[in-house]
Homo-oligomer: A and B are copies of this chain.
Amino acid sequence: MTKETPAKVDMDTIVSLCRRRGFIFPSSEIYGGLSSCWDYGPLGVELKRNVKEAWWRAMVQERDDIVGLDSSILMHPKVWEASGHLERMVDPLVECKNCHLRWRQDELKGDRCPSCGGELTPARMFNVMFKTFMGPVEEEANIVYLRPETAQGMFVNFQNILSTTRKRLPFGIAQTGKAFRNEITVGTFIFRSREFEQMEIEYFVKPGTDEPWYQYWLEARLDWYVKLGIKREHLHLREHRQDELAHYARACSDVEYQFPMGWAELEGIANRGDFDLTQHAKASGKGLAYFDEDTKESIVPYVIEPSAGVDRSVLAFLCDAYDEEPDKDEKRVVLRFHPALAPIKVAVLPLSRREPLVKRAKEIHADLRQCWVTSYDDAQSIGRRYRRQDEIGTPYCVTIDFQSLEDNQVTIRERDSMNQIRIPTAVLKQTLTAKLAGEDLFTLPPGGQVWKRGE
């Protein structure tokens, strides 16, 4: 039933659906919003949690070679000196002498103000790190920065991790968390915002094994998106040209997704060599080497860094899940989320608001809620309720009708096929468990019945 290629969706449709159903709101909206900051509503927060959880499970908990970290957003300013962010994370800005708007020089087409045609000043370099002051005195000595990436927290903890976990190469450190960049040019919706969340891995390897590990991570990360439901043909790897590479990078590729506004980066995977550990060892005077038990030598590992954006992943999962199909008078809008990502796994829908139906439906709901994020909906016709659940991507609806009170059976309705099965309530939990884990809907438990759509 699932179409091979979904209806092309435009960004306005996604933004509007997100706003209307409570996925994503503009930050501080009652005050006119705050440029490029966003709040995740009741469904959005569950979707984002599920994306991060799927990443953490696959990258940390299900692997022997990666451990987690949660380092602070405020870090010692020397970190950014050593990493090169203070010197290099700069944009060239010009200002219009007439209207005083500022522009990124590298994005200007002509040499006059795009807004008023005024004359522009020469470019000045502007650091995109947000700075603030720690302690009561606003002076140079107290400047700290909001981290522009989570990565540096992992490099500066390299020895702490080594000594507490006794990991051997190759091994990785992973973390999710907020990062901040005071971008001049912000992006579409949640694609590029000034406050954003990352999922980053620093994977340390022996020098000389870096190239195969880099290739390994390109495949592993691409697979992760595909396993969670993004269509393979909407993803590709784009290798950076030599002139695009950061000076320390030995290689870098982006996992790109075909967004409504075009192909754009979901994740960057870089072979950073030994740049980061070497820089921090130099700047801190602390040894950040690894003692190789086999060769009895100290080495500085190379690092492969798969660095993904949480918000842009959420956006890609939303866009890719979006589907429309004609349905009688109106169209059916459905988010075909992978069950692991769906904000709500199961909706419980009593066919009427009359007792004792409601009592029974609430009992079943309370029972299911122990296992999954669920929803109880008794407002309006059953058809409209199915459509509401389709639009937010709920994989299964459980309908309780008056017959259920007599035969103790309920109906499960599947989002993607709209097929229905009727099964004994006693096997409801195990059936949903199997279905949410991806088993075929029509592997029926004993005593079950199937209706295909239209029968």
Binding site for B on A (CB under 8 A): 20-22, 25, 27-35, 37-46, 48-49, 56, 61-62, 64, 67-76, 78-79, 93, 102, 126, 130-137, 144, 146, 153, 156-157, 159-161, 164-166, 175, 178, 180, 182, 184, 194-195, 280, 283-284, 286, 288, 369-370, 373, 376, 379
* B76 touching A31, Cβ below 8 Å: yes
By Cβ-Cβ distance, the 3 closest A-B pairs, closest first, are: A22-B164, A28-B76, A42-B67
Q: A42-B164, A64-B376 are in contact. List 9 more A-B contacts (CB 8 A).
A: A22-B164, A27-B74, A34-B144, A39-B157, A102-B136, A131-B132, A132-B146, A134-B182, A134-B194
CB distance from A224 to the nearest CB of B (A): 17
With A22-B164, A164-B21, A286-B30 known as contacts, the answer to whether A182 contacts B69 (CB < 8 A) is no
Copies of this chain in the oligomer: 2
With A31-B76, A39-B71, A165-B22 known as contacts, the answer to whether A132 contacts B134 (CB < 8 A) is no
* A72 touching B156, Cβ below 8 Å: no
CB distance from A177 to the nearest CB of B (A): 9
B-chain residues with CB within 8 Å of residue A44 when the two chains form the complex: 70
* B133 touching A178, Cβ below 8 Å: no
B-chain residues with CB within 8 Å of residue A49 when the two chains form the complex: 56
* A161 touching B69, Cβ below 8 Å: no
B-chain residues with CB within 8 Å of residue A33 when the two chains form the complex: 76
From B42, B74, B178, B286, contact of A161 by CB (8 A): B42
B-chain residues with CB within 8 Å of residue A64 when the two chains form the complex: 376
With A25-B157, A161-B41, A379-B166 known as contacts, the answer to whether A31 contacts B136 (CB < 8 A) is no
* B182 touching A28, Cβ below 8 Å: no
From B31, B102, B182, contact of A156 by CB (8 A): B31
Residue of chain B at shortest CB distance from A129: B132
CB distance from A180 to the nearest CB of B (A): 8
* A72 touching B34, Cβ below 8 Å: yes
Main secondary structure of the interface of A (DSSP, over half): mixed
B-chain residues with CB within 8 Å of residue A288 when the two chains form the complex: 30
CB distance from A244 to the nearest CB of B (A): 24
Residue of chain B at shortest CB distance from A43: B164
* A195 touching B76, Cβ below 8 Å: no
CB distance from A48 to the nearest CB of B (A): 6
Q: List 26 A-B contacts (CB under 8 A).
A: A21-B164, A22-B160, A25-B157, A27-B75, A29-B156, A29-B160, A30-B286, A31-B76, A31-B78, A31-B79, A31-B156, A34-B76, A34-B134, A35-B134, A37-B74, A39-B69, A42-B67, A43-B164, A45-B68, A62-B370, A72-B195, A73-B195, A93-B136, A102-B136, A136-B182, A178-B178
With A156-B31, A182-B135, A194-B74 known as contacts, the answer to whether A68 contacts B42 (CB < 8 A) is yes
* B70 touching A280, Cβ below 8 Å: no
B-chain residues with CB within 8 Å of residue A21 when the two chains form the complex: 164
Complex Cα gap A134–B181 (Å): 9
* A69 touching B40, Cβ below 8 Å: yes
CB distance from A328 to the nearest CB of B (A): 25
B-chain residues with CB within 8 Å of residue A72 when the two chains form the complex: 27, 34, 37-39, 195
Complex Cα gap A34–B134 (Å): 10
